[in-house]
Structure 1
């Protein structure tokens, strides 16, 4: 097994898979961060703050064991300037899908790398358009349980891919970790993969 290159401050299986796809050796470091938006915080600032905070909390959790940078990430689905988080229940999930139906939305994905001496953040924006969805499609999708833990109530890498008529931006960013921006940060920190 290769030597650890970074710590990952995320429980997301999608982020783990994307790091493996890049060939980055990592170890998980659990972090808990309040994801409540600040008053008057715009969506790009929100995802950047959360990614940076997760990475910095990871650095603090490591204490004196600081051999590698910590990667934090956050993704938000945004409609008309409003951040859609993870659906709390069926009613919320169906309402999110109905809101996304037949229209374009933004997906903002931020990635941060932090060490004990500082942090760097990059934000990637994608635009995604859903085709018109029927209430039955929305209900069936919710019942699949796939959208339960996903920002905006859908996952591009799963069944919801059939809902997407257009994507402008980063597929991996919509999944939760923009690989181009992640690669840039890793190179800036001298990490080869």
Structure 2
């Protein structure tokens, strides 16, 4: 995670971290700014100074998660298949830390036209790290790889499995072998 400079930036990160924990514990629709202020040990006004609505806060959390993954990819010395696998392993780690929140943020991002560009950035990283091939073939591989991730998350929820990062990473890599 990048170094956080300045009091305002630190406060924003504390608020977003508190919100992530609460969204996971209570669900997205059951968290208030009062809850977040209490968890972050801040006054409610401070929360409003950063975010005007819970939806704006959720969008910021999603954008931060994507930016963290993109920063990791940019800082990593990996490329190609190794980078793609590492990116999905990081996504799986985040998912295992906050499974309910991650699933809902991803679903909201797919549905919301305003939020789609965040996930499109991740798809671009995948496409840019696939070997040179026709665009149509690249698109199919991007769909298949992201589908494995989304499918795993759905499968774990549907079957009430514990989100075990080691097992999920192994399963992802087994399924991705035929694509990469």
TM-score with structure 1 setting the length:
0.24
Higher helix content, 1 or 2:
2
TM-score with structure 2 setting the length:
0.25
